[in-house]
Structure 1
Amino acid sequence: MSLSRPLNQLARPGEVVRQFTPNWFTATMGTGILALALDMLPGHLPWLAALAEGLWWFNMGLFALCSILYGARWVLYFDQARRIFSHGTMCMFLGAIPMGLITIVNGFLAFGIAHWGGIAVRIAADLWWLDAAMALACAWFVPFLMFTRQDHALERMTGVWLLPIVAAEVTAGSAGLIIPHLGATAEARTMLFIGYGLWATSVLPAMGILVILFLRLVLHRLPGPDMAVTSWLALGPLGTGALGLLTLGAAAGHGLAGSAGAALAQVAHGAGVIGAAILWGYGLWWWVIAMLATIHHLRGGLPFNMGWWGFTFPLGVYAVATLDLGTETGLAMYTVLGVFFVGLLALFWLLVSARTLAGAYHGRLFQAPCLMPEAGGRESAPGSTLASPA
């Protein structure tokens, strides 16, 4: 990284706030899922556990910083900030906010209980309800804006359309982690069935989007280099969909009481494992397609932008679902593949983090596409004008 003056590519430092957009929350998504994935690796090595927890602490600070900057943009530049609702790409990244938060919520269970006991569980549960409300707002209102205010076309469609939808199923999967810590309470039962509702709110529309995405790729070929990484986003709804079925199915026995509840929980658990295995297989197809698409674009150069964080979270949730399938089924193939995916995730995270730090230091990455007059409601790459090999 050059030691020239920080933010030297911005007209003034205040542009960091004016140009701050929610795609920065994808960095919290990628960092958070890496922390959780490392914690799930077999062997439970002490140094790896310490690294995972350190990443979680770092991610909380990163999420707080992003929240302050984005909140300041709405306070100081309200008229410019609200233009996001008409922008066909940047508006999708509103879904990154609840998805980034849920990695912190899950971290309170993975790392916080050892420090604060039941208080960590209570914090996780309270934040979960907030996250569920945010995820539902994205799932309902962002598509409505697509229907009414934004300019979309099939040839410009990418996997970015999935972002506001997938947030709800990410929250659903987290419910399955919290419920066992709540016991057979009314809150646990309510969270269980809301979790299944959130899963359906997300997975079923996402399946429809994936069908349209396949059609778009057949008719109009791969998107341009600036949006090449969006091929990885298809892994998101399949990985989190599988994980949600696994965690909710496992949690059903904790949230349901009585003989009828026990029978229902047994069905939920078995259906969760089978359903997750099916979604996992579909996800493997998309993973191979994403790898091939990336290799195809690398031959002509793949310019860096914040969209590169798409390499991390979708792969991360797919890796976690793979490891969980290994635990549930006892099959070594899932565990071996899960470890491989986590290793690939770590490599992607290191690469994208280094490029992001360099771009942020110089200010290259602080430019909001929704403020560009020529963009209007049309879709453009997140930071595409700043794409750089640096």
Structure 2
Amino acid sequence: NFSPVYYVSIMGTGASSNILYNFPYPAHWLQVCGWIMFSIAVLLLISTSFMTLAGFYYHPKRIVSYHTDPNDAVYMGCYVMGYITIINFVHLVLGTRHIAFVWALWWIAIFMAVYTASIIVFLSIFSKLNKNYDPQEVTAIFLLPIVTLTVASSNGHLLTPTLPTLQQQIITELVSLMIWMISIALAFIVITIYFARLIIYKIPTTDMIFSSWLPVGFLGQSSYSILLFGVNMFKLIPDPYLGHSFLVTSALVALFLMSFGYFMVFIAVSSLLSKTKPFAKNPNTAYTTTFGTIRWSKYWWAVTFPCGTMSLSNLEISKGFVGNYELPFFRVMSCIFALGMLTITVTCLVGIVIYIVKRVARLFDKLDHKSIV
């Protein structure tokens, strides 16, 4: 019963480990918690990779399905983004040590991101291997394979200052900027279609309501990436005026994207509230509790990464590279988004443990019943 949607857990725990290790208000105990969350992310990466390969062996048709079926293929982007969050944590810990190894891991991430955003997007969305889409079926989940480019881009910008040669730094910056531009173009096309769907068919159904958070993830990550690019250009370009112009322009673009992200947070929160009591007159009982709140499911993971990206973009802007003074408001907002993300991550991990315990108990009950018979 394994599904690629479980890759979201790698992405959520990996992003949480980075936030904890580099918290807006740092503390040693938070870094220890970051190590714990990183260990969980690596464990999830290994276990889901094993289950994927086992699924390919016993069910070879899944190889085609994971490339062509939109219900499966889009979640391959979560695997790539989860892998990149692990690279980010390794880089945070190692710094300039073993940078060649980390840089090699980044190039693997680039290949995976480009493959996902091109081959998988073409086969699962653009090609005639699938039926034509009803406009009502178009949701924000189509952003998942595209955002991989943005995440890989920001990872490259983080690596640049620690690379040993200028040539490596320039190559990394150019590749990172190019894939960021591709992701911006593709993602805004999808967001435009998504807004048309919202206008015509209104907010998604309860089972897909958490997908309304996905545009937030793209906007926060793209804001973070372009601001890192501006900071790197300011440090790399010898001419201070030219370097400063890159920094200011990048900061303005980053602020625009992050501001749009705030608006999409409002849309996402409002959409969630509209499905719960007392705002929903007739909540969908299949996806809500007796109290009228959204029932826990694996789709809760969709909230973690968007909150994490908004935390990163707010934290980077709070450093005040333009003007050389800090902006404490954005640091506070970064902390709020980080706490929201960590709360959802821990909730989802507890939910997974409870789910596994119930499945194991059910299995033993079946075995006991067979032995009695």
In which range does the TM-score fall when normalised by the shorter chain? 0.7 to 0.9
Which structure's relative contact order is higher, taking Cα pairs within 8 Å and 6+ residues apart?
Answer: 1
SS at match of 1:123: helix
Which residue, out of 309, 324, 328, partners 2:316?
324
Shift of 1:179: 0.6
The one-letter code matched in structure 2 to 1:147 is F
Shift of 1:363: 4.7
Residue 277 in structure 1 maps to residue 255 in structure 2: yes
User: How far apart are the structure 1 equivalents of 2:142 and 2:62?
Assistant: 22
User: How far apart are the structure 2 equivalents of 1:58 and 1:122?
Assistant: 25
* CA pair 39-153 structure 1, distance change in 2 beyond 3 A: same
Shift of 1:267: 2.9
- Structure 1 portions without partners, runs of 5+: 1-18, 365-390
* CA pair 297-123 structure 1, distance change in 2 beyond 3 A: farther
Deviation sequence 1:239-286 (CA, Å, 0-9, x none): 1100101122222355x46x36x6554333222211111111000000
1:125-204 alignment runs, 5 A limit: 125-145=103-123, 146-148=125-127, 149-151=129-131, 152-204=133-185
Residue 101 of structure 1 aligns with which residue? Answer: 83
Which residue, out of 266, 272, 276, partners 1:288?
266
Residue 373 of structure 1 aligns with which residue? Answer: none
The one-letter code matched in structure 1 to 2:97 is G
User: How far apart are the structure 2 equivalents of 1:89 and 1:307?
Assistant: 13
Shift of 1:20: 2.0
- Structure 2 portions without partners, runs of 5+: 278-282, 289-293, 361-373
Residue 347 in structure 1 maps to residue 343 in structure 2: yes
Shift of 1:202: 0.7
SS at match of 2:75: helix
User: How far apart are the structure 2 equivalents of 1:324 and 1:164?
Assistant: 25
Deviation sequence 1:208-230 (CA, Å, 0-9, x none): 11111111011111211111100
The one-letter code matched in structure 1 to 2:220 is G
Which residue, out of 124, 140, 144, partners 2:102?
124
Shift of 1:180: 0.5
1:219-368 alignment runs, 5 A limit: 219-253=200-234, 256=236, 259=238, 264-299=242-277, 300=283, 301=288, 302-328=294-320, 330-363=326-359
* CA pair 71-342 structure 1, distance change in 2 beyond 3 A: same
SS at match of 2:74: helix
* CA pair 263-193 structure 1, distance change in 2 beyond 3 A: farther
Conserved? CA contact 1:95–1:138, under 8 Å: yes
Deviation sequence 1:319-370 (CA, Å, 0-9, x none): 1111111113511110111111111111111222222232344459xxxxxx
User: How far apart are the structure 2 equivalents of 1:239 and 1:45?
Assistant: 24
Conserved? CA contact 1:176–1:250, under 8 Å: no
Normalised to the residue count of structure 1, the TM-score between the two structures is 0.82
User: How far apart are the structure 1 equivalents of 2:166 and 2:46?
Assistant: 32
Conserved? CA contact 2:12–2:301, under 8 Å: yes
Conserved? CA contact 1:226–1:305, under 8 Å: no
The one-letter code matched in structure 2 to 1:315 is C
User: How far apart are the structure 2 equivalents of 1:189 and 1:249?
Assistant: 13
Residue 56 of structure 2 aligns with which residue? Answer: 74
Which residue, out of 30, 33, 46, partners 2:12?
30
User: How far apart are the structure 2 equivalents of 1:249 and 1:317?
Assistant: 18
User: How far apart are the structure 1 equivalents of 2:22 and 2:247?
Assistant: 20
Conserved? CA contact 1:175–1:248, under 8 Å: no
User: How far apart are the structure 2 equivalents of 1:99 and 1:35?
Assistant: 13
User: How far apart are the structure 2 equivalents of 1:333 and 1:43?
Assistant: 13
Residue 83 of structure 1 aligns with which residue? Answer: 65
Residue 368 of structure 2 aligns with which residue? Answer: none
The one-letter code matched in structure 2 to 1:269 is L
User: How far apart are the structure 1 equivalents of 2:130 and 2:295?
Assistant: 26
The one-letter code matched in structure 1 to 2:205 is G
SS at match of 1:41: coil
User: How far apart are the structure 1 equivalents of 2:242 and 2:88?
Assistant: 26
- Once the two structures are overlaid, the 10-residue window that deviates more, 124-133 or 264-273, is 264-273
Residue 9 of structure 1 aligns with which residue? Answer: none
* CA pair 81-359 structure 1, distance change in 2 beyond 3 A: farther
SS at match of 2:204: coil
1:374-389 alignment runs, 5 A limit: none
User: How far apart are the structure 2 equivalents of 1:37 and 1:280?
Assistant: 18
Residue 369 of structure 2 aligns with which residue? Answer: none
What is the aligned-residue RMSD (CA, Å)?
A: 1.9
Conserved? CA contact 2:24–2:334, under 8 Å: no
User: How far apart are the structure 1 equivalents of 2:24 and 2:301?
Assistant: 26
The one-letter code matched in structure 2 to 1:336 is V
User: How far apart are the structure 1 equivalents of 2:215 and 2:359?
Assistant: 30
Shift of 1:98: 1.2
